[in-house]
Structure 1
Amino acid sequence: MDGATAQEQLLDAAENLFYRGGIRAISVDAVVERAGVNKMSVYRQFSSKDDLVVAYLTRMDARVRERIERSIAKHPDDPAKALVQSFTDLVERASNPDYRGCPFVNVACEFGDREHPARVPVARNKEYLMARLLELSTAAGAADPQHLADSLALLIEGVYTASQTFGPGCGPVRTAPATAELLVRSACGEGKVQA
């Protein structure tokens, strides 16, 4: 098996196992077994488990960004609607029975040390999210774009958490689009968002 194929198989296995079971609980041996490669393949592709974790999180970051951008693209000329749409799409995803929350929140909970290598992709993902929310809040004409972006970020994190504590598709999760719309209307003016 060539290196690129082994790397993809390892990342597929790591994604499935780490997302479902947590990083600390899943051994490299379990990833190797799931991937169907020999153990040396791991160390040819990744110098340590931490490197595998960072590669997994980098992959997850790309997927999160793609989902967010697809949501926003549904209303390319209306940033207020795009903000609300992103919550509608998030709630749909967070209502899936297999949803395990935000992989970045999960990792932040597992690794309290902000200097741990796994926390770098976490910070990068959240920086992207905040920058995108601020950009859209500004474009939507929010009186205080930073306040709106911060409020929406808090609501997003609430969806991630509620989906795990109350369960996927629970009442608190389902209220997120309407709550986001209220926040956007309040910040941008009543006429800016049509539900």
Structure 2
Amino acid sequence: MVAHQARPWEWLNRTGAEGAEKALTPAGERILTAASTLFYEQGIRAVGVDTIANAADVTKKTLYDRFGSKDNLIAAYLERRNRVWHVFLDEQLARLRPGTPEEVILALFTALTEWMAESRRGCGFINASVELAAPDHPAMPVIVAQKRWMRAEFVAQAKLAGFDRVEELADRLLLLHEGALVSYRVAAMEHAPEVAYRAAADLLASWPRVSA
């Protein structure tokens, strides 16, 4: 039997990216589902616990019993959004079937284009970071970890591709990736992901390789 050889899109580092979600009661699931929609569509600060409880058809007491506080609910919302993002990436990469690490990097930008087509209010993590000024907010580690994971994937794929100065290359790729998200949301630049893709392709084409 021939041993399975990992395909390029299977090289993504899943460690810490998709931790198991705590089991929720039916009421807890309704609360998190309602909060996720309201937080993303209306903004975290604009949505109060009364609105969430009403949308989930529960009492405020039930909401606090399940999540402890609105801040903890915000963190749970972002943790779930992170898991949804990783499932989406898996599906997109399996569909695109990139054959090399360079193609994996560009596929991550293609996936961003598809993601933004369904996420008209931009990146939920960036939006949340703007609204949550306190560095000790329970959701901040989730936001930071999500961005660090993305950069780590650029580093990993750049190493596999044999690029030189992979840390610097990853920094530039992350700036393109995140800049597209911000430009799409703030500057109403609907083609920002496509522009970022082309810029990333040009960057990879010109970046030096490690000498043999």
Q: Same fold (TM over 0.5)?
A: yes
Task: Tell me the secondary structure at the aligned position of residue 86 of structure 2.
Answer: helix
- Report the equivalent of 2:12: none
Contact 1:130 1:149 survives alignment (8 Å): yes
Following TM superposition, by how much is the alpha carbon of 1:71 offset from its aligned partner in structure 2, in angstroms? 3.8
Residues in 1 aligned to 2:172 and 2:90: alpha-carbon distance in whole angstroms: 19
Greater helix content: 1
Q: Runs of 5+ in structure 2 lacking a partner?
A: 1-23
- Report the equivalent of 1:148: 169
Query: Equivalent of 2:159, from 131, 135, 138?
Result: 138
Query: What per-residue deviation string (whole Å, max 9, x for no partner) do you get for residues 125-180 of structure 1?
Result: 1121111111111112211111111111101111111111232633x332121111
- Report the equivalent of 1:187: 207
- Report the equivalent of 1:192: none
- Report the equivalent of 1:161: 182
Is the aligned partner of 1:24 residue 2:45?
Answer: yes
Following TM superposition, by how much is the alpha carbon of 1:60 offset from its aligned partner in structure 2, in angstroms? 0.9
Task: Tell me the secondary structure at the aligned position of residue 34 of structure 2.
Answer: helix
Residues in 2 aligned to 1:35 and 1:9: alpha-carbon distance in whole angstroms: 5
- Report the equivalent of 1:193: none
Following TM superposition, by how much is the alpha carbon of 1:72 offset from its aligned partner in structure 2, in angstroms? 4.0
Task: Tell me the secondary structure at the aligned position of residue 95 of structure 1.
Answer: helix
Query: Equivalent of 1:78, from 65, 82, 100?
Result: 100
Residues in 2 aligned to 1:50 and 1:13: alpha-carbon distance in whole angstroms: 15
Query: Equivalent of 2:150, from 115, 119, 129?
Result: 129
Query: Equivalent of 1:37, from 52, 58, 76?
Result: 58
Q: CA RMSD in A?
A: 1.9
Query: Equivalent of 1:64, from 85, 99, 110?
Result: 85
Query: Is the alpha carbon distance of 1:6 and 1:145 closer, same or farther for their aligned partners in structure 2, counting shifts above 3 Å?
Result: same
Contact 2:98 2:107 survives alignment (8 Å): no
TM-score, with structure 1 as normaliser = 0.86
Runs of 4+ in structure 1 displaced over 4 angstroms?
A: none
Following TM superposition, by how much is the alpha carbon of 1:76 offset from its aligned partner in structure 2, in angstroms? 5.4
Is the aligned partner of 1:176 residue 2:196?
Answer: yes
TM-score, with structure 2 as normaliser = 0.80
Task: Tell me the secondary structure at the aligned position of residue 138 of structure 2.
Answer: coil
Contact 1:17 1:26 survives alignment (8 Å): yes
Percent same amino acid at aligned positions? 32
Residues in 1 aligned to 2:74 and 2:133: alpha-carbon distance in whole angstroms: 15
- What count of residue pairs does the alignment treat as equivalent? 185
Query: Is the alpha carbon distance of 1:183 and 1:71 closer, same or farther for their aligned partners in structure 2, counting shifts above 3 Å?
Result: farther
